Amino acid sequence: MTQSKAPFSIAEYERRLAKTRVAMAAAGLDVLFVTDPSNQAWLTGYDGWSFYVHQGVIVTMDGPPIWWGRYMDMMGGRRTCWMDHDHILGYGDHYVQSTEVHPMQDLAQHLSARGFARQRIGVEMENYYYSAKAHAVLSAELPDATLVDATALVNWQRLIKSDAELDFVRKAARISDKVMRTALERAEPGVRKNDLVADIMHAGITGVDEDWGDYPAIVPLTPSGLDATAAHLTWDGTPMQAGEATFFELSGCYRRYHAPLCRTIFLGTPSEDMRRAEAAQLEGITAGLEAARAGNRTCDIANAFMHVLAKHGIERSGRMGYPVGLSYPPDWGERTASIRSEDETVLESGMVFHFMPALWMDSWGLETTETILIRTDGAAEPLCDVDRQLFVKG
């Protein structure tokens, strides 16, 4: 076995493969081609900033998976994947951004050579990293194969975290605490937002003690004032101002595992409307955490929160959270279950969610969230340790 930097034991990867193969069999697949970088890393350990070119993992019903990508990234595969070198394949650079040939032609040759030219092949069609052109070329190169949509097949196997994964999530949570406290301490009128974000990113990358920080799948979201009425704005060079609320949507990251956390700070004196919303939001979060128990459903969390909001006369729509764990840009969510009223996914011990019942109002935003672990008994455990409140700095 190659000497690699894969973060987990071979037994852990074999456990993941076994779960994936059960799902493949249920879907009637002979082989699975995985393009989501998070799923690639979960199955093989591969970790590199190369997802801007075509790459993926071939999973068959026996033996180790095969990582396939650009030749120069094949070397990164040898350094980070747990498999032997003969399970790490690379295609030539003449395929990269060419109008004459396409990397899927190379992939088709590998699949054909392994006897899959007439088989049922699963592909992740609703995925950031599998293009329409890639699907068209692969279909043309394998005319006798049946390409089956296997979107999120691997993602669903990741929903319940192993003890080894939970250890990484907890380390990410400690880094989340650090980056959030850095943001709250540094925020004050006159501080340029880009300088504040530089401090946040420095805190995240330095990590906590020996647990170094990785880059998060989403950059720091730090909008102020009217910008905070929108959910996903980043930063600029404008100085922070008195009389405005700023929410921080951040996450520490350890070995690609995340624990997102949001808090809001007001520079000055918040309005009574904001204070009433804060009280409702905090009460709703407590109710949601009580509902987040093994055996309940994701919709029970959402409905518990929404019931409190309705009692306070506050309207809100949209989902209120999603599973998190291992991820790459552009999103730290796992893209499976959702915390919303129409989702009936049954909660099980070991699931980790970003419970995010944020409020975006006409002139301000209020984000207070928790990464939570579903436990065998009792209410969910918030994994971060920053006070749950609207922070005020006069």
Q: Which two tokens stand for residue 212?
A: 């170094």
pLDDT, position 394: 82
Pick from 142, 157, 172: which residue ends a domain? Answer: 157
Gyration radius from the chain CA atoms: 22
Whether residues 201 and 287 fall in one domain: yes
126 and 170 inside one domain: no
Query: What is the residue whose two structure tokens read 């929108």?
Result: 230
203: in domain: yes
User: Tokens 């068959």 appear where?
Assistant: 60
Residue pair 293/374 in contact (Cβ under 8 Å)? The answer is yes
**Mind listing the pLDDT tens digit for each residue in 152-168?**
999 999 999 999 999 99
Which position has the token pair 């973060």? 7
Residue 1 resides in a domain:
no
Last residue of a domain, one of 157, 184, 218: 157
Q: Residue 2: inside a domain, yes or no?
A: no
Whether 4 maps to a domain, the answer reads: no
Same domain flag for 97 and 129:
yes
**Same domain? 369 vs 346:** yes
Count up the domains in the chain and report the number: 2
| In a shared domain, residues 275 and 370 | yes
Asked whether residue 5 is assigned to any structural domain, the reply reads: no
- pTM value is 0.97
46-65 average pLDDT score = 97
Q: Which of 157, 191, 217 is the last residue of a domain?
A: 157
pLDDT tens digit string along 373-386?
Answer: 999 999 999 999 99
Question: Could you tell me if 138 and 168 lie in one domain?
Answer: no
Give the HSE-up count for residue 222: Cα atoms under 13 Å, Cβ half-sphere: 28
Predicted local distance difference test score (pLDDT) of residue 5 = 86
Task: State the CATH number of the domain containing residue 75.
Answer: 3.40.350.10
Which CATH number belongs to the domain containing residue 172 in this structure? 3.90.230.10
190 in any annotated domain: yes
Asked whether the bond before 330 is cis by omega within 30 degrees of 0, the reply is yes
- The full length of the chain comes to 394
Find, among 242, 195, 201, 224, the residue nearest to 363 by Cα: 224
Do 269 and 152 share a structural domain? no
Same domain? 26 vs 139: yes
DSSP 297: B
pLDDT over 70, % of the chain: 99
The C-alpha atoms of residue 127 and residue 80 are separated, in whole angstroms, by: 23
For residue 368, is it within any domain? yes
Q: How far apart are CA 166 and CA 388, in angstroms?
A: 22
Look up the domain containing 346 and give its range: 163-393
Q: What is the pLDDT of residues 75-91, one digit of tens each?
A: 999 999 999 999 999 99
pLDDT of residue 48: 97
Question: Is 364 part of any domain?
Answer: yes
Same domain, 247 and 193: yes
Closest CA to 62 of 8, 14, 133, 126: 14
Q: What is the pLDDT of residue 49?
A: 97
Query: Within this chain, do residues 222 and 355 fall inside the same structural domain, yes or no?
Result: yes
Q: Do 208 and 70 fall within a single domain?
A: no
Res 221 pLDDT > 80: yes
Q: What is the pLDDT of residue 3?
A: 56
- Same-domain status, 120 and 190: no
- Joined together, the tokens standing for residue 154 give 């691997």
Checking if the pLDDT of 341 tops 90, the result is yes
